[in-house]
Amino acid sequence: MRKLLAIFLIMLTALPLWAGARHTVLMDVLQIRELSGILHEEGLQFGATLNDDWLEGQGGPAWAGQVTRIYDVDRIAEGIRAGLEPALEGEVLEAAIAFFASELGSQIITFENAARRALADPEIEAQARAKFVKQQDSNDVRLVQINRMIKAGDLINRNVTSALNSNYQFLRALVDGDVYTMSDEEILDDVLSEREAITEDTNIWLGAFLTLAYSPLSLEELTSYADFAESEAGRALNNGFFAGFDPLYEDISYALGRAMAMNMAAEEL
């Protein structure tokens, strides 16, 4: 009886272990480790901006170290995985793996990461934004496919919501750190006052990023990717990314706010 029970337990635990292995494959084909490194570098760059704007450039090694720890690569990767795992299972998981393990899927991830790195350069970002603004109201066949992806993932609205939530957490952390005295309602009103500007900026940045990233693709390849974005697996993947990114960046924003409050308090001493 004990032997049979042991075998039964092994069979039960084998299922999540197998699922975990397949999610690891998904993380690999999506090159999440590289993406996490890119997001880490973006975080350091944002931290430098906060240092200039809020600490008059006087944050020094202490602030830099705090920002580095907050944007820890492992933390980012684990946060992404936490969103992807419950969102993709069974057939949709296998469909996502199959697409991004293909030559086209692998190229797409490589192009996306390269474009994200390139946009870290202010001059390149400005050029990409200007190019998109000129194109955005045209009937360009490539933009039609890109707009299919944006619509399928509700990318504008979801990115704006994510940005607003992150800003809320940053400001709430400053209030908790006694930098400001504001009610939750006042924090929310302050954050929401920026919705229109954030929406406009998100629309242009996202368009610039996607047109730059997918410029090496043929129209046929771009159409295939739009087809995937509209599929059940594509929508599940998009949902998983936001399920991971939203709480991750809310936590990061709050941590940045608390670190900023501590640094501002130290300056006053």
pLDDT at residue 201, as a whole number: 95
User: pTM (2 decimals)?
Assistant: 0.89
pLDDT at residue 267, as a whole number: 63
> Cα separation of 260 and 262, whole Å?
5
Residue 12 has pLDDT above 50, yes or no: no
Contact 138, 61 (CB under 8 A): no
For residue 219, give the amino acid letter. Answer: L
pLDDT digits (tens, 9 = 90+) for 227-260: 999 999 999 999 999 999 999 999 999 999 999 9
Contact 247, 79 (CB under 8 A): yes
pLDDT digits (tens, 9 = 90+) for 203-233: 999 999 999 999 999 999 999 999 999 999 9
Contact 244, 79 (CB under 8 A): yes
Closest listed residue to residue 187, CA positions, set 166, 202, 211: 166
Structure tokens at 228: 């995937």
Structure tokens at 18: 């197998």
Structure tokens at 194: 């920026």
pLDDT digits (tens, 9 = 90+) for 23-32: 999 999 999 9
Contact 27, 77 (CB under 8 A): yes
> Mind spelling out the 3-state secondary structure of 101-126?
HCHHHHHHHHHHHHHHHHCCCHHHHH
pLDDT at residue 15, as a whole number: 40
% of the chain exceeding 70 in pLDDT: 92
> Cα separation of 225 and 37, whole Å?
24
Q: How far is CA 203 from CA 6, 124, 129, 208, in A?
A: 56, 17, 10, 9
What's the average model confidence in pLDDT over 82-97? 96
Q: How far is CA 225 from CA 159, 202, 221, 234, 252, in A?
A: 20, 21, 6, 9, 31
